[in-house]
A and B are shown apart, each in its own frame.
Chain A
Amino acid sequence: MSECILPQLTSPKVVEDRSLLPRDWTLSFTEPSLPGFQLAVLELIRRTSSRLPQDVIDALVRGRDAEAPGSRAFNTLNDMVKNILLADGHVTPLCQDTGTVIFYVKHPTGLSQLTLKKQIRQAVVQGTERVWLRPNCVESLSGKNTGTNLDPFGEGHPVIHFEEWDRPELEVGLMLKGGGCENVGAQYRLPDVHLGAGRDLSGVRKCIIDAVMKAQGQGCSPGILGVAIGGDRVTGYEHSKALLMRTLGAPHPKSNLTQLESDLTRDLNTLGIGPMGYGGKTTVLGLFIDELYRHPASFFVSVSYMCWSSRRRILTLDATGRPHFN
């Protein structure tokens, strides 16, 4: 079970050849119905579900190569790498839990959110039919599955965050976040007497360690953490999750937090929880932290945990309507 796999995803050319979009398709921003946008979103779903970002693969390979060959941790990380290559090659979901489907849409002034929403929802139905998404939307109390990934009231699923910005391009980010890792997210209110955590950086650090300890392997470690300090209960969680769209290894936009992120990552990797909680040197692949303003009386620390299969992609439709996938 320990044949060492070197990661080599299919080439960008193969990905382009498989694309659902006609080769020279562009989005016409001036046509109100935005023809073709739905297909572009479906292509985004295809890529996100089956192709893991390179920075995540690199981090998993570094973790694997730090373990003793043949050890359980090594074999497990190697199986993860094998799975990544298979899913990409077959264009099948990396994980059967294709997660909560979360879109981050940033659009120029003048585009209709209703039109964007309608087409995104249709793309999600098609992505489910083409088995890039598992039907993951059930009525809460009865457990009845809608089968389409649509919440019929249009509120719950897929999740779509809209933001109007002063730029000409349309950006659609997609995150597929599995239920196992979502369940181990946590929110703390400082001071926390039980943890002995005060309203300072040391207190924040204790919350993060506690969240990773409680998660053990259940969020499919090695995980990636998004941590928001401050905000209210909603914005804290919301921001902590949005942070998971960042690229591993890229410096923090606020340079004073880059060192904190790498120090915390190093410390968490001494816990020995390891891949899938089997024990090992890689418990987290990385950590993204950010500070929000808060009400004077409230001090929340919100932690979102992303599994190792961190499926995120961004589609940018530039000012001329040309699609670019990251």
Chain B
Amino acid sequence: MLHRLTTPLSEATVRQLVVGDEVLLSGRMVLSRDVGHKYMKEEKPEWLKPLLKDMVIYHCGPVVQQQSDGTWTFIAAGPTTSIREEPYQADVIRHYQVRGVIGKGGMGAETSRGLQATGAVYLHATGGAGTLLAECVERVVDVHKLKEFGSPEAFWIIDVKDFPVVVTMDSHGASLHEQVAQSSAQVAERLMKS
């Protein structure tokens, strides 16, 4: 089923989503990856609270270009591998009341528990589609920690339109990644015997 959603997202909206649903997401999102997640879990900065409540975190380290007027443009902005944030993600979702996490490759059991407890979803974007996804970025609103973390790790705040994602982990405990891992393991077992 295809949904068109705009952030901020309510818990009720997110609870309706199930694995396999396609979403065209519009509105604001916050980019964060390895350094940012460690920082959010360990320091729990207050200033991020209003930016993240009912919002979506995107695991992405973009290629950016600064224009002559000082504004920023995203040149390439596909997802990075999410599993590296597994030690932090559930805490971050709970603490900041995040409603969605976009990335690639899926996440583990701890994150799945966090999604269920808070009412949030994991949304999968096509890895490597950097230019295609950058086209969905309408505006770079702001950036935090640019100097300290470097551009791939900074908290970029962006507005997007019709950003295409698939729900691969929902708030009811289902995970497409888990399903594919199990079915492929059965084939692998047969292949290894042959």
Contact = CB atoms under 8 A, between A and B. Distances in A.
A94 B76 contact: yes
B39 to A, nearest CB: 11
A232 to B, nearest CB: 26
Interface stretch (B7-15, B41-49, B181-189): B181-189
Chain A interface mostly: loop
Given A83-B131, A136-B152, A96 B60 contact: yes
B156 to A, nearest CB: 11
A94 B131 contact: yes
A274 B180 contact: yes
Interface residues of B, number: 52
Contacts of B187: 270-272
B116 interface: no
A217 B105 contact: yes
A205 to B, nearest CB: 8
B135 interface: yes
B183 A272 contact: yes
Contact of B76 (A1, A92, A180, A277): A92
A195 B191 CA distance: 12
Nearest to A143: B35
Contacts of B63: 92-93, 96, 98, 131, 134
Contacts of B75: 92-93, 96, 131
Given A180-B80, A216-B181, A217-B105, A94 B151 contact: no
Interface in B68-98: 75-78, 80-81, 83
A106 interface: no
A277 B126 contact: no
Nearest to A213: B188
A171 to B, nearest CB: 27
Interface string A62-103: 000000000010001001101100110010111111100000
Contacts of B77: 96
Given A134-B61, A135-B152, A145-B152, A79 B129 contact: yes
B78 A82 contact: no
A79 B132 contact: yes
Interface in B137-192: 149-153, 164, 166, 168, 176-177, 179-181, 183-185, 187-188, 191-192
Interface residues of A, number: 54
Nearest to B132: A83
A135 B151 CA distance: 8
A138 B148 CA distance: 12
Contact of B177 (A96, A135, A179, A216): A216
Contacts of A195: 192
B61 to A, nearest CB: 6
Given A79-B164, A272-B187, A220 B132 contact: no
A199 interface: no
A303 interface: no
4 closest pairs, A vs B, by CB?
Answer: A145-B150, A218-B105, A96-B76, A83-B132
Interface of B: 2, 20, 22, 34-35, 60-65, 75-78, 80-81, 83, 104-106, 124, 126-135, 149-153, 164, 166, 168, 176-177, 179-181, 183-185, 187-188, 191-192
Given A97-B61, A277-B106, 17 more contacts: A93-B63, A96-B75, A131-B75, A134-B151, A143-B35, A210-B188, A213-B185, A217-B105, A270-B187, A270-B191, A271-B184, A271-B188, A272-B183, A276-B105, A277-B177, A278-B124, A278-B166
